């Protein structure tokens, strides 16, 4: 008999189960308090029981835990300053989708050397999330696969589904079972239809194959997630955060009989991937809120300690501290200025 399966598989490396990883990096009381409070607050904002805006701010991706926690401590102090008008969630992205090839993120390649110690990356990712929550910041992340939530989902307060995966049935089904509010990004062409269909799908119960805490294949049956919402990130060569684009998105949500909850991503196509334009995007969006817009509930900022980005050098000792190795970010002083200006502008509007 000729072999007919696994023809292109080199090997199978055992992975510790979610239960094993949880046991090694257990939830702490302080982290649990932050997660629960973060989720309830975001739900209240989406339900219009809390008038504040939420802002998801942080590095494009985490690659250095020390620099990431340095950023988190700074962000916590800033979050406390603006908390009566703005709820700050730290952007903690571990997995990076790639058009062709490239570094796939902290979980897949924590050593940044193409050694792909995923079992090590998962432990490090969980340790990092626990530390961020213990600082007192709720964490937001992008869900790229249906396996990782079993390892990390208890430490997440907000989840994004990217423009490339919002159309995926797998990601819609997974989102229907997540314990967090989920933001679905519009398609790379700028259309909101895919994201709206994803919100509708994720709100319904689903049954699909996945794994349980013991690492066994299981049929996962979900209840549906009613906290799906739209994230505008631009696309098709143009931004879509302007008043006209937001109004069109509102009308599409209304037609679909969905809550008019919109988050604006200040990065990606909305700023033409030029980080120096992110403050202008945020200023424009806050102006819309000041003018009476009630559908915009949040914003996203790609921000790190240092501005811009850098390639991964052959000698990792040459990496610049606190600087992104994926998309370019605004620096910390700019982040402070953006959030403090938004706080001032929201006086008597969202508090």
| CATH number of the domain where residue 98 is located | 3.20.20.70
Q: What is the pLDDT of residues 184-209, one digit of tens each?
A: 999 999 999 999 999 999 999 999 99
Residues 6+ apart with CB under 8 A from 330: 275, 276, 278, 279, 301, 302, 303, 304, 307, 338
The reply to whether 117 falls in a domain is: yes
Strands 53-58 and 207-211: unpaired
Question: Domain range for residue 221?
Answer: 28-345
The reply to whether 10 falls in a domain is: no
The reply to whether 98 falls in a domain is: yes
Q: What is the pLDDT of residues 287-304, one digit of tens each?
A: 999 999 999 999 999 999
The reply to whether 3 falls in a domain is: no
pLDDT, residue 102, reads 79
The reply to whether 11 falls in a domain is: no
Q: What is the pTM of this model?
A: 0.96
pLDDT, residue 351, reads 66
The reply to whether 6 falls in a domain is: no
Residue 219, both tokens: 């049929």
Q: What is the pLDDT of residues 26-41, one digit of tens each?
A: 999 999 999 999 999 9
Classify residue 187 by its DSSP letter: P
Residue 100 has pLDDT above 60, yes or no: no
Number of domains the chain is built from: 1
pLDDT, residue 101, reads 66
Decide if 301 contacts 330 (C-beta within 8 A): yes
pLDDT, residue 169, reads 96
The reply to whether 291 falls in a domain is: yes
Mean pLDDT of 242-250: 98
Q: What is the pLDDT of residues 317-333, one digit of tens each?
A: 999 999 999 999 999 99
Residues 6+ apart with CB under 8 A from 334: 278, 279, 303, 307
348 falls in which pLDDT band (50, 70, 90)?
confident
| Residue keyed to tokens 């696969």 | 145
As a whole-number percent, the residues of the chain with pLDDT over 90 amount to 95
Residue 121, both tokens: 């990356």
The reply to whether 5 falls in a domain is: no
pLDDT, residue 96, reads 74
212 falls in which pLDDT band (50, 70, 90)?
very high
**Average model confidence (pLDDT) across the chain:** 96
pLDDT, residue 105, reads 93
CA dihedral of 21, 27, 32, 35, whole degrees rounded to 10: -20
């Amino acid at each position: 008999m000729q072999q007919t399966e696994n023809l292109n598989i080199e090997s199978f490396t055992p992975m510790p189960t979610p239960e094993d990883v949880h046991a090694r990096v257990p939830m702490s009381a302080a982290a649990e308090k932050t997660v629960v409070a973060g989720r309830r607050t975001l739900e209240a904002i989406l339900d219009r029981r809390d008038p504040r805006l939420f802002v998801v701010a942080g590095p494009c991706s985490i690659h250095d835990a020390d620099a990431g926690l340095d950023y988190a401590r700074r962000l916590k102090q800033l979050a406390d300053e603006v908390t009566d008008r703005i709820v700050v969630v730290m952007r903690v992205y571990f997995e990076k989708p790639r058009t062709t090839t490239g570094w796939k993120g902290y979980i897949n390649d924590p050593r940044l050397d193409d050694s792909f110690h995923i079992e090590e990356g998962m432990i490090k990712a969980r340790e990092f999330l626990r530390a961020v929550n213990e600082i007192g910041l709720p964490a937001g992340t992008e869900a790229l696969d249906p396996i990782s939530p079993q390892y990390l989902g208890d430490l997440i307060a907000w989840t994004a589904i990217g423009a490339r995966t919002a159309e995926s049935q797998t990601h819609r089904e997974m989102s229907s079972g997540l314990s967090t509010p989920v933001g679905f990004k519009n398609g790379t062409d700028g259309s909101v239809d895919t994201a709206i269909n994803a919100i509708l799908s994720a709100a319904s119960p689903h049954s699909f194959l996945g794994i349980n805490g013991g690492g066994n294949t299981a049929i996962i049956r979900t209840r549906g997630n009613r906290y799906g919402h739209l994230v505008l990130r631009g696309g098709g060569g143009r931004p879509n955060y302007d008043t006209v684009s937001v109004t069109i998105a509102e009308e599409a949500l209304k037609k679909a009989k969905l809550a008019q909850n919109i988050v604006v991503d200040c990065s990606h196509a909305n700023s033409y991937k030029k980080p120096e334009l992110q403050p202008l995007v945020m200023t424009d969006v806050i102006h819309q809120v000041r003018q009476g817009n009630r559908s915009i509930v949040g914003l996203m900022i790609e921000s790190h300690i240092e501005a811009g980005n850098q390639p991964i050098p052959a000698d990792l000792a040459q990496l610049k501290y606190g600087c992104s190795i994926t998309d370019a970010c605004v620096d910390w002083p700019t982040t402070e200025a953006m959030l403090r200006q938004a706080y001032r502008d929201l006086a008597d509007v969202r508090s």
